Amino acid sequence: TFDNDGVTTSQTVDYQGLLQEPTAPTKEGYTFKGWYDAKTGGDKWDFATSKMPAKNITLYAQYSANSYTATFDVDGKTTTQAVDYQGLLKEPKTPTKAGYTFKGWYDEKTDGKKWDFATDKMPANDITLYAQFTKNPVAPPTTGGNTPPTTN
């Protein structure tokens, strides 16, 4: 029996016969590592040399998470981070910009969705997150004390 995350298929094979290797399964965000005799760990089945034992067996599809690149863009200056599929990104140091307040990291240069580093997970592709800022308000000029200037 071949078990791919709970979906099973079977082959009938004579004792000491060779199993026919099924088509490698696919899974978004993962690379297929092979068929193993345990759900995790275990020994990889070698279809060229491993023989059918005198009992029924189950071989399990095992995968490794793919790594993707998260690019952080601060006004065209970029840094990158390698992140496994469905992993959490590490929040970079808060960028600064004179006269502006940092709003957060977004999936678009303007507007877009703000990235939540506590809950948003790496998709099965490379991404770019953009630093967005809001312009600080400019205080009106004052004369002497706290009174704004008057015009006549």
For residue 121, give the CATH number of its domain. 2.60.40.4270
CA–CA distance, 106 with 114 (Å, rounded to integer): 4
- The residue type of 18 is L
Mean pLDDT for 114-140 is 96
Tell me the pTM.
Answer: 0.78
41: left (phi over 0), alpha (psi -120 to 50) or beta: left
Q: Is residue 21 part of a domain?
A: yes
Q: Is residue 6 part of a domain?
A: yes
Mean pLDDT for 34-57 is 97
Rg, Å, the chain Cα set: 28
* Pairing mode, strands 2-4 and 59-65: parallel
Mean pLDDT for 12-33 is 96
Percent of the chain having pLDDT more than 90? 90
Mean pLDDT for 94-112 is 97
What CA–CA distances, in Å, run from 91 to 17, 78, 111, 136?
53, 14, 19, 23
How many domains does the structure of the chain reveal?
Answer: 2
Instruction: Say if residue 51 is in the same domain as residue 104.
Output: no
Q: Which domain holds residue 118?
A: 67-135
Asked if pLDDT for residue 148 goes beyond 80, the answer is no
Q: Where does the pLDDT of residue 144 fall: very low under 50, low under 70, confident under 90, or very high at 90 and above? A: low
CB 73 within 8 A of CB 67: no
